Amino acid sequence: MFGLFKQKNNKQLEEVTLRVGSVLHKQIKSAADDSSQESWKAVFKRMDDAVTAGYLFGYVQASFSEYALDEKEMDTYLRMIFDGIFPNEGYAFVMSKIEQLNNADDMGINIKIEEIAVDFGMGIDLGENDVVVNGGGLDVASGLLFYLSTGKIRGAD
């Protein structure tokens, strides 16, 4: 009987994983496809920054919040989604930003680390907000697309 609930939960988690990966990939692909030759470099530079890493992290965490996953399970879903978006590099990219922040005491706080922390935090807030406001809908989550396209955080004026 208890295995039945676990099986249902696994199916739901697979659906969430697919939906979340699709939402994130769609935003990134749209930003890349819609960028002009002049803005292409800026879009791709933003794809590699702390706001983007924070958004990815915040969006995924918020999307799985109702499932009470332990740290190891959450890490598995983070890896699947991030590496699905950026094959073999996505997870390392996001975790490298977190690692920089976790080791800030070792490096000594400086302006660069503070900027990374602020940007990562803004990205997390933006990702979480897209999940809450939009219910994670595939056609409506657009905070990352807007940021990648404009370099601005929607609503942070």
Report pLDDT digits (tens) over 118-132: 899 999 999 999 998
Question: Hey, where are the domains in the chain?
Answer: 2-150
The answer, yes or no, to whether residue 65 has pLDDT greater than 60, is yes
Q: How distant, in Å, are the alpha carbons of 5, 16, 45, 61 from that of 65?
A: 18, 11, 30, 6
Give strand ranges (E) for the chain: none
Nearby residues of 13 by Cβ (< 8 Å), 6 or more positions away: 64, 67, 77
Mean of the pLDDT values across residues 60-85? 93
pLDDT of residue 105: 60
Percent of the chain having pLDDT more than 70? 83
The answer, yes or no, to whether residue 56 has pLDDT greater than 90, is yes
Mean of the pLDDT values across residues 56-60? 96
Q: How distant, in Å, are the alpha carbons of 97, 101, 107 from that of 111?
A: 15, 12, 12
Cα–Cα dist 102/100, whole Å:
6
Would you list the DSSP string of 28-59? HHHHHHH--TTTHHHHHHHTTSHHHHHHHHHH
pTM for the model stands at 0.86
Cα–Cα dist 65/47, whole Å:
25
Q: What is the mean pLDDT of the chain?
A: 84
Per-residue confidence at 1, pLDDT binned at 50, 70, 90? very low
The answer, yes or no, to whether residue 108 has pLDDT greater than 60, is no
